Amino acid sequence: MRQHKLWLCTLLVLLLAALGAFGAAAETTVGMSGAGSFKMEQVYVNVPELDVYFYALDGDGNSYSPIKVQAAGPELTLGDRRLEVRSVAAASDPICYILALDNSKSIAPSEFYTMLGGVRKLINAMGDDDQLMLYTTAGSTECVLPATSDKNLMYKTLGSIKQVEGSLDTARLVSAVYSELQSDYQALAPRKAAMIVTDAGQVLTNMAMFATLASDVGDQIGMAAYIYLMTDRPGAFETLESAADGRLVLCEASTLGDELKKKQKYFATALEIKTEVPESFYGERLETLTLAMPQLGSAIRSSQTVYMGYRLAKPQVTKVETLRRDKLRLTFNQPINENANKPQLYEVRSKDIWNWRVQVKSVTISEDARTAELEIEPLYKGDYTVALNRVSGKMSAANVSSSRDTATFKVVVWPRDRAFYFAWFRGPLLIANILVKYDLRVCCRQFTQHVLIPV
């Protein structure tokens, strides 16, 4: 018994050390003074735009308003260059929740299904444009749901998850998430939050989980990561929870949903700064970004290392499908802004000598903003081009399409429609009809003068 207690104490000391290391790393992103506290959530340099998401609290723990922060004159520095801060606003961008669920059989079945119920509460409370990316960790780390805002698909996937043999491998999980972020970067919502849900029994059997969190998550995936430990004795781990600086959340399985919703409300208090970054800043390197607010207190300063290598690809059409002679489906290289439902933002032209511009009557954007259906004038046989006219990507409104980027498609069946022919050739036919009538009148006049009238 005595040896067992010694072993338990040793594990707890190691755990505190790991959490202490994580807390020390987090101090570089938190500024405090008698006036309040300040913490960065995420920083993205997406040339040509830089986005900073952060929290600013007064001495009583209440959020500063955007007006208050703006009046404090925030100073933004990237490397040794001062950037312009035009405005501070409440963060309104959608969030991609990257959720990793421990589905190992070491968790009691009743708690496992209660855990799934808690996640359903989070899904139900998510915004319409928020996304969910779902991983399971037992056996092998697997992305069972790529990022989507389709809630029906979220519920369906969640209901298909079963318990299997194996344990949570955080190193593999971090690697998988990082790879997914890199491969589909522009399809994900601008803000991101990583959450791991497991059982408190993992505290004593999987120390690597906390060591990996302390050293890798912030650097590799560039976002705040939270661990939710389900336990029927939260009070026994209060010291660990406080040492983790809010990144470790202890709760009973029955209250997991409430804790997830509480974190969602916390995300809603974030502020944002968006500013432009010169193209010269792009490159495969790291820079230090510092946000300071001297007027709120000399210690209100926060820094974060940011990756400079992201240059957003401009939105463009990659595929065109002719659903009908008067209806097209466009597929984009990335999700586009939901405001891109105006006909004037799309240009369809024939690739013949006439270069006719086809009228776009209406546009319907799909739920995932990756496709759009266009109601247009009827088409005839031939080649056509489609271009976007200043359509912005969903991740950044500053990333605007170029009309020089066109997609080509072909209509191979000549439509059999008299109304269609008349609509397209009405102008030329009218002109031809006038010319023919004019020529007939001239001929008749000449015939009358020279043949019918006697000399």
pLDDT digit string (tens) for 35-64? 567 788 888 888 778 899 999 888 787 888
Q: In 10 A of CB 115, how many CB atoms?
A: 24
Cα(238)–Cα(232) distance, integer angstroms: 13
Has residue 301 got a pLDDT over 90? no
Q: Which residue type is seen at 138?
A: A
- Which alpha helices (H) appear in 36-108, and where do they start and end? 66-71
Q: Of 223, 289, 302, which is closest to residue 39 (Cα–Cα)?
A: 302
**3-state class of 438 per DSSP?**
helix
Digit-coded pLDDT (tens) for 213-234: 444 455 556 677 888 988 887 7
Decide yes or no: CATH 3.40.190.90 for domain 1-27+92-267: no
Mean pLDDT of 341-361: 92
Has residue 121 got a pLDDT over 50? yes
Cα(303)–Cα(290) distance, integer angstroms: 4
Digit-coded pLDDT (tens) for 280-292: 888 878 888 999 8
Contacts of 292 (CB under 8 A, 6+ apart): 74, 75, 77, 300, 301, 302
Q: How high is the pLDDT of residue 18?
A: 41
Copy the structure tokens of residue 121.
Answer: 């509460």
**Could you tell me if 361 and 377 are in contact, meaning their C-beta atoms sit under 8 angstroms apart?**
yes
Q: How high is the pLDDT of residue 317?
A: 96
Q: How high is the pLDDT of residue 422?
A: 62
Of 437 and 394, the structure prediction assigns the larger pLDDT to 394
Cα(260)–Cα(195) distance, integer angstroms: 9
Has residue 421 got a pLDDT over 50? yes
Q: CATH topology for 34-91+269-311?
A: Immunoglobulin-like (2.60.40)
Q: In 10 A of CB 176, how many CB atoms?
A: 18
Q: pLDDT band for position 329 (50/70/90)?
A: very high
Of 164 and 296, the structure prediction assigns the larger pLDDT to 164
| pTM for the whole structure | 0.75
Question: Chain-wide mean pLDDT for the chain?
Answer: 81
**Could you tell me if 186 and 332 are in contact, meaning their C-beta atoms sit under 8 angstroms apart?**
no
The CATH number assigned to the domain with range 317-411 reads 2.60.40.1220
Cα(102)–Cα(255) distance, integer angstroms: 17
Q: How high is the pLDDT of residue 170?
A: 76
Q: How high is the pLDDT of residue 91?
A: 94
Has residue 389 got a pLDDT over 90? yes
Cα(281)–Cα(275) distance, integer angstroms: 13
Cα(1)–Cα(12) distance, integer angstroms: 17
Q: How high is the pLDDT of residue 6?
A: 40
Q: pLDDT band for position 208 (50/70/90)?
A: low
DSSP letter assigned to residue 166: -
Sign of the torsion angle spanned by Cα atoms 26, 30, 33, 36:
negative
Has residue 297 got a pLDDT over 50? yes
Of 13 and 348, the structure prediction assigns the larger pLDDT to 348
Q: What percent of the chain has pLDDT over 70?
A: 77
